[in-house]
């Protein structure tokens, strides 16, 4: 059985993430969505909230071979513990590629038994980034083109709790 891991913070999960999940699930027998916290980012949602959000969104995918698991360790240790032979990463553009290229090189040094597969984001979804979705929402902009309705509601509720920014 080929097991793949698609890791991310998913803060929040976007239509771009969902595209990579749907396509990545076709490449493996079982896809594990690894929800983690990136220490370089300040999440809008807690680990538990992000896990629930991702579970809710992937439950909409029919004939799903997808599970959602939280982790707070090195990606290669997590992937090994899950029995994965593949890590799936989404690429939006050159900047993502440069970062992912370096990350993949380091990960190969940690565990060369696990391959990394890059999937290019659908061209219509390439500009979408969770960081930008949050920024747009915090300044009162519309995010409905970047996330599902349920995620939009979650983000708008959180923004109401923390307060809008700007004039």
pLDDT at position 41 is 74
Please report the pLDDT score of residue 95 as a whole number: 82
Predicted TM-score (pTM) of the model is: 0.93
- For the annotated catalytic residues, the residue numbers are 17, 41, 92, 130
* Contacts with 69 (C-beta within 8 Å, 6 or more apart), sequence order: 32, 33, 34, 35, 82
Q: What is the pLDDT of residue 64?
A: 80
Each residue's pLDDT tens digit, 5-37: 999 999 999 999 999 999 999 999 999 999 998
Per-residue pLDDT, 167 = 62
Give the Cα separation of 81 and 108 in Å (integer): 16
Whether the CB-CB separation of 161 and 70 falls below 8 Å is answered with: no
Determine contact, residues 152/15, Cβ cutoff 8 Å. no
Residues 98-125: pLDDT tens digits? 999 999 999 999 999 999 999 998 989 9
């Amino acid at each position: 059985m080929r097991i793949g891991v698609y890791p991310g913070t998913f803060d929040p999960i976007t239509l771009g993430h969902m595209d990579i999940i749907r396509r990545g699930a076709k490449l493996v027998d079982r896809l594990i969505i690894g929800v983690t916290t990136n220490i370089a980012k300040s999440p809008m949602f807690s680990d538990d909230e992000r896990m629930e959000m991702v579970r809710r969104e992937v439950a909409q995918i029919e004939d799903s071979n997808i599970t959602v698991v939280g982790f707070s360790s090195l990606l290669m240790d997590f992937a090994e513990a899950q029995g994965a032979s593949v890590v799936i990463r989404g690429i939006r553009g050159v900047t993502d590629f440069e970062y992912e290229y370096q990350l993949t090189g380091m990960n190969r040094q940690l565990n060369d038994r696990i391959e990394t597969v890059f999937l290019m984001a659908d061209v219509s979804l390439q500009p979408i980034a969770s960081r930008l979705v949050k920024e747009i929402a915090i300044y009162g902009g519309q995010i409905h083109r970047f996330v599902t309705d349920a995620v939009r509601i979650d983000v708008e509720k959180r923004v109401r709790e923390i307060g809008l920014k700007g004039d």
